[in-house]
Structure 1
Amino acid sequence: MDSDQDRHLGGGKADILIVDDRPDQLLVYQTILGDIGQTLFTASSGEEALKQVLDRDFAAILLDVNMPGLNGLETASLIRGRSRSAHIPIIFITADYGDELHTAQAYSLGAVDYIASPVVPEILRAKIKVFVDLYLLAQQAKRQAEEHLALAEERAARAAAEQASRRLSFLAQASVALAGSLDFDAITRELSRLCVPLLADACGLTLVQARDGAGTDVAPVAGDPRRTRSTARLVTDVPEGWLRLAMNRVLTSGIVEVIDGL
């Protein structure tokens, strides 16, 4: 990975698992991959590889096919069968590169590549670097998505807190208005006035007769003069009787309705 791309990917490191039952081959692969700047882990059997896969998320697995006990193909099948590790790219290494049956079986188990042994160092490094870059890009995208989600949640929480603060301020001032006068008209005017701009851009108060449901509009209050035109447009552009229907829904359901887009 060159320095420009390294900076682009945030300078992160990836874990690579090398699986081979021969210590000398493990040493060879570690030597070849030692200068790509990533963290190398080794396993000398399929069973050990499965344990390591449970502990961490690898960018790629370099897996020898011909191992005693649990061979490479069986190990790959078990890795693919676990949801935690099913996505990890597996590169098989085998001396039987020309064996079409083995090759077909390897790809059917999810192998992304197949390398003949003895390996060519430059080819092995190039292939591993591709999967490391893809892994780091995916991790970067995941971090950015998490940051965007956290930012959106923070903004939503801030907006909710501000709305709650406005409502509390309205309730506090409304309590003062209710306690400060016995004049019904004065109280309704003051309550309507307090709604603007604490809770809305405009306010209209409708008194509903409990007996027949008839309503009387009182104490209309306009908000910011700069928004008077859009407020008027909202009222005049809606279908006839729409506001009355909305009021009836509120009275029936007891649920607040918000008219947005002013």
Structure 2
Amino acid sequence: MLSHIQANLLIVDDLPENLLALEALIKGPDRNVYQAQSADHALSLLLEHEFALAILDVQMPGMNGFELAEMMRGTEKTKNIPIVFVSAAAREMNYAFKGYESGAVDFLHKPLDTQAVKSKVAVFIDLYRQRKALGQQLEALERSRQEQELLLAQLQVTRSELEHAVRMRDDFMSIVSHEVRTPLNGLILETQLRKLHLARNNADAFTLDKMHAMVERDERQINSLIRLIEDMLDVSRIRTGKLSIRPASFDLCQLVSGLVENFAAQAAAVDSSISLQAGAELVGYWDEFRIEQVIANLLTNALRYGAKSPVQVRVFEEQGMACVQVRDHGIGISAENQQRIFQQFERVCSNQSSAGLGLGLYISEQIVLAHGGSITVSSTEGQGATFSVRLPLVRSPQESGAQQATSA
């Protein structure tokens, strides 16, 4: 079963005829026999190959067999190779005792007993093969252990990711139920109040001015629901790679100016204000609807977390990029939160009073990245935050296509 493991045998003798005779005695198809006529030659072979057995002649000129054995025992690579001494000296010279002292496992006297030599060599080859097979099994077990440890680590990571996903799902469902319930409750209360007025024939509750106010309140609640639904649809589009970008030429300064004007009433409602610093025009080739979505989200957040402080907006060109900065002076964002606010369902404030699904910045970043740009935040906790959007300043469809090809 172990015959596939090839064994190397080393025979050392200063007489070529002895080497030939010993090789003829121990050679076989499952083993390689190396010859050395000196201790120096033997040492070079020992360092080059791995041997199952070394058969050393005792009496050699220069370094004898005992000295070679002692050097082998003192070298890490060769210290465990079994050594068999061969000698033509008379038994009464006590060479065998000295050989065992030098670390030999056996001692043979010349003339050699053919069957005894073959049998002893076969035993040592079998032992060598068993050791090699055991070593291979241990290596396989160690590899298996390492693979199991790696698999366990991967399973632990997967488990952590699944647990995080479950927590995100639970948080998301809680946020969605809260956010959807808020405008729905408003609509339900408005409906119930109107039904009450109608039941009492209270026509004064439906004057033109009051009808205008009712419509405005309904419109706000419906727009809130639409925004929530659109955010969830955008996340789905991003995950499936279907977020549509339809670029066209427009003036970024004009877009931001219109948004600032539209947000003036919302800013006044929270005792804040929005100022704009922009040039005459900054025309580029982007998706106007999507860029408006990004800037509107930044303005909404600035008013929400700005602690009633003024909000400054800048539109400018820098190093071939169109830049929009939105700065507030509110609660700010900690360094830890800055790393996660662009992730899904993450919000600066985790309490339920903080409106929104925690998707705005995630969607905004994906939109800006789809344009080949970037969105970053600079903030110190308690000292406000500055969000910066940078968009490649392209002015034509051809330039946009060339830039997308370069970035790809």
The TM-score, its normalising length taken from structure 2, stands at 0.41
2:105 is aligned with 1:112 = yes
**Shift in Å, 1:145:** 1.1
Higher relative contact order (CA 8 A, sep 6+): 1
Structure 2 match to 1:12: 5
The answer to whether structure 1 residue 66 and structure 2 residue 59 are counterparts is yes
1:49 aligns with 2:49: no
What is the CA distance between 1:59 and its match in structure 2? Answer: 0.6
Q: Which residue of 1 aligns with 2:155?
A: 162
Aligned-residue offset at 1:100: 3.9
Residues 99 and 84 of structure 1, relative CA distance in 2, 3 Å threshold = farther
Q: How far did residue 36 of structure 1 move?
A: 6.4
Aligned to 1:28, which of 17, 21, 31?
Answer: 21
* Cα gap change, 1:97 to 1:135, in 2 (>3 Å): farther
- Matches of 2:170 and 2:3, distance apart in 1: 58
Give the match for residue 243 of structure 1.
none
Say whether the 8 Å CA contact 1:97–1:115 is kept in structure 2: no
Q: Distance in 2 between matches of 1:33 and 1:100?
A: 27
- Alignment: residue pair count: 176
Letter in 2 for 1:127: K
Residue 71 of structure 1 and its aligned partner are, at CA, apart by 0.7
SS at match of 1:62: strand
Among the aligned pairs, what percent are the same residue?
A: 31
1:98 aligns with 2:91: yes
The equivalent of 2:303 in structure 1 is none
**2:308 corresponding residue in structure 1:** none
Cα distance in 2 between the residues matched to 1:71 and 1:56: 21
TM-score (norm. length: structure 1): 0.63
Whole-Å separation in 2 of the counterparts to 1:115 and 1:102? 10
Q: CA deviation at 1:117?
A: 1.4
| Whole-angstrom distance in 2 between the partners of 1:44 and 1:88 | 19
Q: How far apart in 2 are the matches of 1:53 and 1:97? A: 29
Superposition CA RMSD, Å:
1.7
Distance verdict in 2 for CA 1:147–1:80, change over 3 Å: same
- Report deviation, 1:179: 3.7
CA distance in 2, matches of 1:134, 1:80: 19
Alignment of 1:1-262 (within 5 A): 7=1, 9-35=2-28, 37-182=30-175
Instruction: Give the superposition deviation at 1:35.
Output: 3.3
Change (3 A) 1:41 1:147: same
Three-state SS of the structure 2 residue aligned to 1:177 is helix
Q: What is the CA–CA distance in structure 2 between the aligned matches of 1:10 and 1:170, rounded to whole Å?
A: 52
| Residue deviations 1:205-257 (CA, integer Å, cap 9, x gap) | xxxxxxxxxxxxxxxxxxxxxxxxxxxxxxxxxxxxxxxxxxxxxxxxxxxxx
What secondary structure is seen at the aligned counterpart in 1 of 2:27? helix
Name the CA distance, whole Å, in 2 between partners of 1:99 and 1:88. Answer: 27
Contact 1:15 1:57 in 2 (8 A): yes
- Structure 1 runs of 4+ aligned residues shifted over 3 Å read none
CA contact (8 A) 1:14 1:38 kept: yes
Runs of at least 5 residues in structure 1 that lack an aligned partner in the other structure: 1-6, 184-262
The structure number with the bigger radius of gyration is 2
Distance in 2 between residues matched to 1:88 and 1:46, nearest whole Å: 15
